[in-house]
Amino acid sequence: MIKRLPTKSVARNVQPPSEQADCFYTYDLGCATALMSLDFDLISLERANPRKVQFQFQRINAIEESANDYFIGKLEIKARLMFDNIKTLKNMIYSS
């Protein structure tokens, strides 16, 4: 099941991951929260696995570098912004 999210200028018809190379995917809630906090566009949440949610972001030049910085502990984000965005993501996950 794919939950589509309204975005600014992103295509509304989201294709499966194998068909869409212009997207960045992660299963990590913390990474997805960090990317949202950096204003990367979240396109959809995919629930192919009932125990996992895959977050799909629009791929732009800096997204992979930002994700890597998150995982190695170099990314700095305001705590309140991170907290607000994790609440937003959890609401999206559990609301459907």
pTM listed for this prediction: 0.76
Q: What is the rounded CA–CA span in Å between residue 96 and residue 10?
A: 22
Q: What is the rounded CA–CA span in Å between residue 7 and residue 72?
A: 29
Contact indicator for 40, 63 with CB cutoff of 8 Å = yes
Domain spans of the chain, in order of start: 2-7+18-85
Helices (H), strands (E): how many in the chain? 3, 4
Higher pLDDT, 8 or 77: 77
pLDDT digits (tens, 9 = 90+) for 12-68: 334 454 445 789 999 999 999 999 999 999 999 998 888 899 999 999 989 999 999
Retrieve residue 29's tokens.
Answer: 């809630």
pLDDT of residue 5: 53
Task: Flag whether pLDDT at 1 surpasses 50.
Answer: no
pLDDT digits (tens, 9 = 90+) for 67-80: 999 999 999 999 99
Q: What is the rounded CA–CA span in Å between residue 82 and residue 91?
A: 14
pLDDT of residue 74: 96
